[in-house]
Amino acid sequence: MQLSFIPINKLDNEPYASILGYPKSTKSQVKSRIKELKKLGIRAVAFHGELNLGSVNVLGKGYVGIVVLAKNKNKKVALKIRRIDSPRKEMKNEAKLLKIANSADVGPVLIDSSKNFLVMEYLDGKKIGKWVKELKGKGSSSLLKATTKKVLEDCYNLDVAGLDHGELSSIAKHVIIGKRKTTIIDLESASQKRRVSNVTSATQGIFIGSGISNFAKKIYKIPPKSKIIKALRIYKHEPTRKNFDLVLQTLKL
């Protein structure tokens, strides 16, 4: 599909201004944000994605920001726009947390940031919830196992880094299965101050009583819930590589 990129100088027109200053902003706030985008090297934005906001589409929406597809020079990037009504007054802390995740080889790569924006690697793919629903045919069991193992390895790396994602128990929207890369996204609720629970939360989110587990169990035989919980308790008590491998072994990954 041919994407239509809107030059940033036109983003002060509706319906684009409503996204740049979501959910409601003044003209001066929008103009100020356009100047900020220029400093970041953002040239244009494409309102593309599965989520519809009014008359435009976006890649994602959270309580902190809206994510859209943009161009940084001639490269496609994901641009996170801080909401006007966000409880966060700036994007500095989220940029710091994403850098920590990147150091553990997790998450979209942070390219740049400012008060109101994060510029990140654009991952063309599907959220894991939708991906699992559409998975079928020969080799789907092996593909599901390999993908799930990669996600849990990322979770273990975040645990080791001391960074808790915070939303992986409802994992359906927080992992992108991309053509080039599969990774955890949306670190806006992440924290270094909480006890890490990425492996346990993600395992429960994928395998125990979730929409994803209902589809996964049709593709390969998931072990009994009691066995999974036992392995997770051992890991939670002592989050070592040995105990993480026990979780993978229990899940037949």
- The 10s digit of each residue's pLDDT in 93-144 is 999 999 999 999 999 999 999 999 999 999 999 999 999 999 887 789 999 9
Same domain, 246 and 131: yes
- Tell me the pLDDT band of 244, cut-offs 50, 70 and 90: very high
User: Can you spell out the DSSP letters for 118-186?
Assistant: EEEE---EEEHHHHHHH--STTHHHHHHHHHHHHHHHHHHHHHHT-B-S-GGGGGGSEEEESS-EEE--
Same domain, 15 and 113: yes
Mean of the per-residue pLDDT values of the chain: 93
Q: Whole domain around residue 213: which residue ranges?
A: 125-250
Same domain, 195 and 237: yes
Q: Is 1 helix (H, G, I), strand (E, B) or coil?
A: coil
Provide mean pLDDT across the span 66-95. 94
How large is the greatest C-alpha to C-alpha distance in the chain, in angstroms? 58
Domain C-terminal end among 121, 136, 151: 121
Domain C-terminal end among 121, 149, 171: 121
- Tell me the pLDDT band of 2, cut-offs 50, 70 and 90: low
Domain C-terminal end among 121, 144, 164: 121
Same domain, 102 and 153: no
Q: At residue 10, what is the residue type?
A: K
User: What would the two tokens of residue 126 be?
Assistant: 């599907």
Question: What is the CB-side half-sphere exposure of residue 5 using CA atoms within 13 A?
Answer: 15
Same domain, 182 and 239: yes
CB atoms within 10 A of CB 252: 11
Same domain, 224 and 150: yes
Strand order in the sheet with 125-127: 125-127, 175-178, 182-184
- Tell me the pLDDT band of 1, cut-offs 50, 70 and 90: low
Total domains, the chain: 2
Same domain, 139 and 224: yes
pTM equals 0.91
Report yes or no: 174 and 129 within 8 Å, Cβ to Cβ.
Answer: no
Residues near 91 by beta carbon (within 8 Å), at least 6 away in sequence = 65, 80, 82, 113, 114, 115, 116, 117, 118
